[in-house]
Amino acid sequence: METRRRHTAKEMLGRMALLTLPASFLFGAVAVVVGSVLAWGAGRHVEQPDWTPTFAGLSFAIPGLLISGFCFKEAFRRTRYRFTTSALQLASGVLFLLLGSAFEVALALRLPDPDTYDTLRHPDGTFTSPFEFLAVTLLGMVLVCGVIAATAYVYARAITADVPTRHDRRADEVDAMGEILSGRQRP
């Protein structure tokens, strides 16, 4: 049985580069969790219940944790030994994982800031209802997380592990089925 070869320095650098984006996305999701906890009551001055900013943040953080965890786990598993990548798939994944990471960090910084919620105050002196705020938040979460989940999946699938399976032939193994189909006889 063929033994699995460990990475060279160049391959290790490639592996680290491929794992950096899912790790940064994971870091961003954790930052949103922290920002969500700190946002408790940040919208009180625009008549939002104390829990709505926290709920809005967690509605982005939880899918972000799941998506980034899946992407990191898959990228780690697929780069454990030798691997190849598909440049086109990788490029689209890189773009959206960078945007997703930047979005998460910006969201984590804006959630606890009470000024963020000033846009919920209308010119006539009324405020956006908590239901409207949460409906728009959940719609945005579905759209943003849907796009990021699809591209994180594409990013993870762009990495192909080059490890032999149990059905692969060794170099010195005879292809019995190939000989039968070609009509050749073994001496």
What pTM does this model have?
Answer: 0.79
CA distance 154 to 151: 5
Domain assignment of residue 172, yes or no? no
Q: Is residue 182 packed enough to be buried (19+ CB in 10 Å), middle (13-18) or exposed (0-12)?
A: exposed
Query: Which pLDDT score, from 0 to 100, does residue 129 have?
Result: 93
Summarize the confidence of residues 28-52 as an average pLDDT. 94
- In the chain, pLDDT over 70 holds for what percent of residues? 89
For residue 81, being part of any structural domain is answered with: yes
Q: How many domains does the chain have?
A: 1
Tens digit of pLDDT for each residue in 130-176?
999 999 999 999 999 999 999 999 999 999 887 666 666 666 777 77
- Which whole number is the average pLDDT over 60-66? 96
178: in domain: no
| Whether pLDDT at 83 is above 70 | yes
Residue 46 domain-assigned?
yes
Q: Is residue 186 one of the residues assigned to a domain?
A: no
169 in any annotated domain? no
Judge contact between 49 and 70, C-beta under 8 A.
no
Cβ-count burial of 162 within 10 angstroms (0-12 exposed, 13-18 middle, 19+ buried)? Answer: exposed
Report pLDDT for 88: 87
Q: Using an 8 Å Cβ cutoff, are 101 and 25 in contact?
A: yes
**Distance between CA atoms of 112 and 116, rounded to whole angstroms?**
8
Residue 124 lies in a domain: yes
Residue 1, domain member (yes or no): no
For residues 57-73, average pLDDT: 95
Query: Which residue segment(s) compose the domain that 101 sits in?
Result: 9-164
